[in-house]
A and B are shown apart, each in its own frame.
Chain A
Amino acid sequence: MRLIPGNTIADEAKGTDKLTLVDFSADWCGPCKMLHPVLDKLTSELGSKVNFVTVDIDKDPAAANQFGIRGVPTMIIFHGGKEIDRMVGFRDKASLKRDLEALAVGTLG
């Protein structure tokens, strides 16, 4: 999964027809570490529908403030530059995949 600077989140979310999942993460966060292999796996399974990126909130605290993040991991899903869903905490691969597929059907058709 690609690490991006926090100030490029908006461009990242607007610059694709796919959904964009931004994972707000930190090194000291256990569930974030558990989530990374899930997102890596989903990057290969859902890459045609979802653009997966991660932001390190230690390097980019302003991004966490901008999006009202007070807990990690938080995943914000964008479509066409707009936030369409927000998920907090660790998510199991199967349930996250199911929810992302449902969002893709609802937005991408």
Chain B
Amino acid sequence: MSFKVDTGLVSSGAIQSIDSYQLVIAGGGPAALSAAIYAARYGIKHVVLESWKPGGQAALTAEIENYPGFSSIAGSDLTSAMKKQATEAGALFRMETVESTTEENGKILVKTDSSEYTADFLIIATGAAPATLGVPGEERYYGRGVSFCATCDAPFFKNKKAIVVGGGDSAVKEALHLTHVVSELGLVHRRDKLRAEPYLARKLVEHDKVTTYWNSHLAEVVGDDQGVTGVILDTPEGRKHIDTDGVFLYVGTVPATEPFVSLVELDKNSAVLTRNIVGTSNPRVFAAGDVTNNGFRQVVTAVSEGARASAAVFELLEKEE
């Protein structure tokens, strides 16, 4: 079995053309879509290289309840509406994955799986992919009980047992989604309290179906030919075997920065190191959303950063004219 939590960054292929733009926006999630809306409205000649994953991670979120204007909206509906708005504003989208980037003579060269572009400016908004733990059984049972997407796989666990590993907003939101389906839900977190928004955290911890395992780590996923049958946890009371049919992992993300390593400075977690929110170590490159080290990984901050990045590009283009 191939174990890949896709970053969307590995590609190869014949180069067909070289197009020149004032701005290339790399990414397809809320940060890129917002940057596209603003770039189009500013009249910047641009292209959005959205890879093959329109909507990014947000599109995989079952319900978003903290985006202003919507009490609750499916992530995919929100990102589809953003893309529609960007397209109507005149944004140009291409389903291409950025493979590498370099800078030559004041121009950014962007190579994708099928084309090559030159641009005066680049906005990196490629987001992040789910992190893995690397524990025994995690890879073997991926797709056979181990999942990184409750929104996608919850129906397989109707009236079954599942555990969620993690304590951030994603873990808690997806765990709440699972409570509608499963018979019992275990929550495994390495600390003694959740990092998630208190309203959601309380709702989850007080849920009838939920058992919490604080200060605990997932040590191993165990199973048989059919798939996962349980997990082994390291808890303050020692090792524990818990019977479960599903293991949902929300243990952080890995920023999708591989194609940009020669262009901008990264932090120790491979996130783009920003200055003044959307600036980078390269004056021709801006970054927005989960790919940055800005920390607060929300749709509302991603769209804000995308807008700021396009506004910054617009100002610089005005100065250069």
Binding site for B on A (CB under 8 A): 26, 28-35, 37-38, 64, 68-72, 74, 85-95, 97-99
Contacts and interface: CB of A to CB of B under 8 A. Distances in A.
25 contacts: A26-B152, A26-B155, A28-B152, A30-B59, A33-B76, A34-B59, A37-B52, A37-B95, A68-B144, A70-B145, A70-B246, A71-B146, A71-B149, A72-B152, A86-B1, A87-B2, A88-B1, A89-B148, A92-B6, A92-B11, A92-B97, A93-B11, A93-B95, A93-B113, A94-B13
Nearest to A91: B6
Q: Which of A32, A74, A85 has the most CB of B within 10 A?
A: A74
B226 interface: yes
A71 B155 contact: no
Contacts of A86: 1-2, 143
B101 interface: no
Taking residues whose C-beta sits less than 8 angstroms from the other chain, chain B's interface range is 35 or more
Contact of A90 (B2, B3, B53, B95): B53
Nearest to B3: A88
Q: Which of A30, A91, A95 has the most CB of B within 10 A?
A: A30
B251 interface: no
Interface of B: 1-13, 51-55, 59-60, 75-76, 95, 97, 99, 113, 142-149, 151-153, 155-157, 225-228, 245-246
Nearest to B8: A92
B59 A88 contact: no
Given A70-B145, A71-B149, A85-B1, 13 more contacts: A34-B59, A37-B52, A68-B226, A70-B153, A71-B142, A71-B152, A72-B152, A88-B142, A89-B5, A89-B142, A92-B9, A92-B11, A92-B52
Contacts of A99: 2
Contacts of B95: 37, 93
Contact of B156 (A30, A37, A71, A92): A71
Q: Which 4 A-B pairs have the closest CB atoms?
A: A94-B11, A88-B143, A71-B143, A94-B113
Contacts of B7: 92
A95 B129 CA distance: 16
A78 to B, nearest CB: 14
Contacts of B145: 70
B4 A87 contact: yes
A57 to B, nearest CB: 9
Contacts of A88: 1-3, 142-143
